């Protein structure tokens, strides 16, 4: 397939209503695309299939949280300090570039900086003074001073900040998973990969909470013999889940299970298995929150191997960060078989001192102090209405008491599969795009799976005869009422109509002809085989519901 595959796909996508450049009449902006009528439906199909894997097969629960996130939340999570790209600015042409995007593949970022080998790709000027730039879009909530916030770079933090509520919702049982599908935002320095590098994008993330001493999955045995497609940065190989865990190639069952679930989802959606692999992050490229991470990489004819999913063991990083920042109890409880008597340290507030000192805030401070798990007696502070207040030592005392414990608290660990939905959509188009010659002309086919195809059935009257048209429109209406997406078309030759449906990925077409008037049968054409069969009108709804897995 030629190297200009991306251009061909994007031209087809624009012409047929899959993907449009955003703000095109104003010159466009890199990193933004609109989904057209077919693209919106394809994206919906991807998300709904993803839900079927994580909501139904894995029994997760789903929530929806704001896309605007407080500065305090992302400060605690590490994104304010860590979510950066090393950037250089060109004084001559006034453009900025991400360093790793403009250096030679054979040299590291450190070497390029040290040897002064970074040049502006636009004007050729040597670039210096690389500096980190945070990739989050900043905003303010409210008028005046307001509260500092960002457009979220991931959906995960909305799940973590609700953990204490979700844990109770799940009747305080582990493990359990929480999913969220929604928009994320990253103010990329100079996005250069079209649909694969967006500033506003759709994510589908699962945060699955485990006891750190028991990172097993109850469905692992049912898939342990399945093979994963792995890449160790030298060679690609297949290995069963069980063997990968036993050999510590993958560190725990839970991570291996979600890698397989990811693989199963993507291959079911229609990704080419020959252009699919998992690559393990080296220690130098792990995100600040991860202890282990595997990227699901898909191959593009233009861009090479591209990450579409990250499956990370985030350990207890995020929950610990939010506990430290807010003092909210976000622990889980491990129950003992029999109660244990243990020594505990408690803070006893001195209200006779605190009352005059803190006035109307004293009551809130008292409640917060009594909830603190005392670890370090050197400094006690609480957050009240967004303000961190250090508590003077004369306002409380720390006493040691004995308590009967029914269990012990711990901070759960998290396994996170994080999907870039837009990248999956693009790769479904590229991996299923095919060109053939038909009667000397270039003929394009999108071989989308029936479940992913935006339109499932094209419905055509052979000619414009009113009797044929009326039957075709009735078929179209009946299929739609049964939940089957159709497209009625009576324009042009039947060959041209088939070609239009093939190009947008429609797997089936129905043609109403003169024989229909005689025997109530129509022609059903299969896109991939081009075979045709006659079928009774009364069989159509049940036939397509079965073929489309309704």
Residues 6+ apart with CB under 8 A from 28: 21, 22
Closest of 146, 118, 144, 122 to residue 131, by C-alpha: 118
Which residue, of 100, 118, 134, is where some domain finishes? 134
| Residue carrying structure tokens 């995960």 | 156
Domain of 163: which CATH number?
3.30.930.10
387 and 240 within one domain: no
The enclosing H or E element of 214 equals: none
Those residues whose C-beta lies under 8 Å from the C-beta of residue 168, and which sit 6 or more positions away, are none
Number of structural domains the chain divides into: 4
181/194 same-domain check:
yes
Closest residue by Cα to residue 298 from 328, 317, 277: 277
3-state secondary structure at position 480: helix
Residue 147 within any structural domain of the chain: yes
Do both 184 and 130 map to the same domain? no
Query: Do residues 298 and 355 share a domain?
Result: no
Q: Measured between alpha carbons, how far is 421 from 525 in angstroms, rounded to an integer?
A: 31
Same domain membership, residue 124 and residue 161 = no
| Cα-based torsion angle of the residue sequence 159, 163, 165, 169 in order, rounded to the nearest 10 degrees | 90
Here the tokens at position 145 are 């001073």
The residue among 373, 407, 441 that closes a domain is 407
Check whether residue 249 and residue 153 sit in a common domain.
yes
Handedness of CA 311, 316, 317, 319 (dihedral sign): positive
CATH number at residue 483: 3.40.50.800
Of 467, 464, 459, the residue nearest 515 (C-alpha) = 467
pLDDT at 377: 58
* CA contacts within 13 A on the Cβ side of 65: 26
Confirm whether 432 is domain-assigned: no
Please report how the helices 421-431 and 37-51 are oriented relative to each other, as an axis angle in degrees rounded to 10: 110
CB 228 within 8 A of CB 249: no
Indicate whether 245 and 289 sit together in one domain. yes
Residue 328 lies in a domain: no
| Length in residues, the chain | 550
Digits of tens for pLDDT over the chain (550 positions)?
A: 444 889 999 999 999 999 999 999 999 999 999 999 999 999 999 999 999 999 999 999 999 999 999 999 999 999 999 888 889 888 888 888 888 888 876 777 777 777 677 888 888 888 888 888 999 999 999 988 899 999 999 999 999 999 999 999 999 999 999 999 999 999 998 888 899 999 999 999 999 999 999 999 999 999 999 999 999 888 999 999 999 999 999 999 999 999 999 999 999 999 999 999 999 998 888 888 899 999 999 999 999 999 999 999 999 999 999 999 998 999 999 988 888 888 888 899 999 999 999 998 999 999 888 888 776 656 788 888 878 898 998 999 989 888 888 888 999 999 999 999 999 999 999 999 999 988 888 899 999 999 999 999 999 999 999 999 999 999 999 999 999 999 999 999 999 999 999 999 999 999 999 999 999 999 999 999 999 999 999 999 999 999 997 6
The encoded tokens of residue 203 equal: 């994510």
What was the pLDDT predicted at 123?
A: 87
Same-domain status, 516 and 532? yes
Q: String of b and e for 421-445 (b: at least 16 CB within 10 Å)? A: bbbbbbbbbbbbbeeeeeeeeeebb
**β-bridge pairing 227-231 and 276-280:** parallel
DSSP letter (8 states) at residue 412: P
Q: What share of the chain is helix, strand, coil (3-state, %, to 5)?
A: 35, 30, 35
Q: Please tell me the distance from the alpha carbon of residue 416 to that of residue 179, in angstroms, as a whole number.
A: 10
Q: Report yes or no on 302 lying in a domain.
A: yes
Which neighbouring-strand residues pair with 334?
408
Cβ pair 508, 522 in contact under 8 A: no
The 8-class DSSP code of residue 119 comes to B
Domain contains 225: yes
Q: CA 9 from chain center: how many Å?
A: 23
Residue 493 sits in the same domain as residue 461: yes
Q: Do residue 394 and residue 312 come from a single domain?
A: no
- Judged on CB neighbours under 10 Å (0-12, 13-18, 19+), 299 is middle
Write down the residue that tokens 């693009």 correspond to: 426
Torsion of CA 7, 10, 14, 15, to 10 degrees: 60
Neighbours of 550 (CB within 10 A): 12
Q: Structure tokens of 133? A: 């730039």
Q: Take residue 335 and report the two structure tokens written for it.
A: 């129950």
Class of residue 126 by CB neighbours under 10 A (exposed 0-12, middle 13-18, buried 19+)? exposed
Q: What is the CA radius of gyration of the chain?
A: 29
Tokens, residue 80: 């304010």
Q: Which are the contacts of 115, defined by CB distance < 8 A and separation ≥ 6?
A: 107
For residue 450, tell me if it sits in a domain: no
Query: How far is 102 from 84, CA to CA, in rounded Å?
Result: 17
Classify residue 324: in a domain, yes or no. Answer: no
> Of 22, 423, 31, which Cα lies nearest the Cα of 190?
31
Q: Which domain holds residue 460?
A: 455-547
The answer on 139 and 50 residing in a single domain is: yes
- Compute the distance between CA of residue 241 and CA of residue 224 in angstroms, rounded to an integer: 5
What pLDDT does 1 receive? 45
Confidence at residue 131, expressed as pLDDT on a 0 to 100 scale: 87
Phi, psi of 526 (to 5 degrees): -95, 125
Same domain, yes or no, for 402 and 480?
Answer: no
- Say if 40 falls within a structural domain: yes
- In the block, tokens 């008037």 appear at 517
């Amino acid at each position: 397939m030629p190297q200009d595959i991306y251009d061909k796909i994007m031209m087809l996508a624009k012409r047929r209503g899959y993907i449009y450049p955003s703000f095109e009449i104003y010159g466009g902006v890199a990193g933004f695309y609109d989904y057209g009528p077919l693209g919106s439906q394809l994206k919906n199909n991807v998300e709904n299939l993803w839900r079927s894997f994580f909501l139904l097969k894995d029994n997760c629960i789903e929530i929806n949280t704001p896309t605007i996130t407080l500065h305090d939340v992302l400060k605690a999570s590490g994104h304010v300090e860590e979510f950066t790209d090393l950037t250089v600015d060109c004084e001559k042409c006034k453009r900025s570039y991400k360093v790793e995007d403009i250096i030679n593949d054979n040299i590291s970022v450190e070497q390029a900086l040290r040897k002064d080998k970074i040049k502006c790709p636009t004007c050729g000027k040597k670039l210096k003074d690389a500096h980190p730039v945070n990739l989050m879009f900043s905003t303010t909530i409210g008028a005046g001073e307001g509260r500092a916030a960002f457009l979220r770079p991931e959906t995960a933090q909305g799940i973590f900040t609700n953990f204490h509520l979700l844990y109770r919702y799940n009747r305080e049982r582990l493990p359990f998973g929480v999913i969220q599908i929604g928009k994320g935002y990253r103010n990329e320095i100079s996005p250069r990969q079209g649909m694969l590098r967006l500033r506003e994008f759709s994510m589908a993330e699962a945060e699955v909470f485990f006891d750190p001493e028991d990172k097993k999955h109850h469905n692992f045995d049912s898939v342990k013999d399945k093979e994963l497609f792995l890449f160790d940065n030298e060679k690609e190989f297949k290995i069963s889940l069980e063997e990968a865990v036993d050999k510590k190639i993958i560190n725990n069952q839970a991570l291996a299970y979600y890698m397989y679930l990811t693989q199963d989802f993507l291959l079911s959606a229609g990704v080419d298995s020959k252009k699919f692999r998992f690559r393990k992050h080296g220690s130098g490229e792990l995100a600040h929150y991860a202890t282990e991470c595997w990227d699901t990489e898909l191959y593009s004819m233009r861009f090479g191997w591209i990450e579409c999913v990250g499956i990370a063991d985030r350990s207890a990083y995020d929950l610990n960060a939010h506990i430290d920042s807010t003092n909210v109890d976000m622990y889980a409880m491990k129950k003992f078989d029999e109660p244990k008597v243990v020594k505990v340290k408690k803070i006893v507030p001195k209200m006779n001192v605190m009352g005059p000192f803190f006035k109307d805030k004293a009551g809130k401070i008292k409640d917060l102090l009594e909830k603190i798990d005392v670890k370090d007696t050197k400094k006690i502070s609480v957050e009240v209405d967004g303000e961190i207040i250090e508590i003077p030592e004369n306002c409380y005392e720390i006493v040691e008491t004995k308590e009967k414990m029914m269990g012990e608290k711990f901070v759960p660990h998290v396994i996170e599969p994080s999907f870039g939905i837009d990248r999956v959509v693009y790769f479904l188009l590229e991996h299923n795009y095919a060109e053939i010659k038909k009667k000397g002309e270039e003929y394009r086919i999108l071989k989308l799976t029936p479940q992913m195809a935006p339109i499932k059935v094209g419905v055509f009257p052979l000619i414009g005869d009113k009797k044929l048209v009326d039957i075709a429109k009735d078929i179209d209406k009946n299929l739609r009422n049964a939940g089957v997406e159709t497209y009625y078309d009576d324009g042009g030759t039947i060959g041209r109509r088939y070609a239009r449906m093939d190009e947008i990925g429609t797997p089936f077409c129905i043609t109403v002809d003169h024989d229909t008037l005689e025997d109530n049968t129509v022609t059903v054409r299969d896109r991939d085989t081009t075979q045709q069969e006659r079928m009774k009108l009364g069989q159509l709804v049940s036939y397509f519901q079965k073929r489309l897995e309704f």
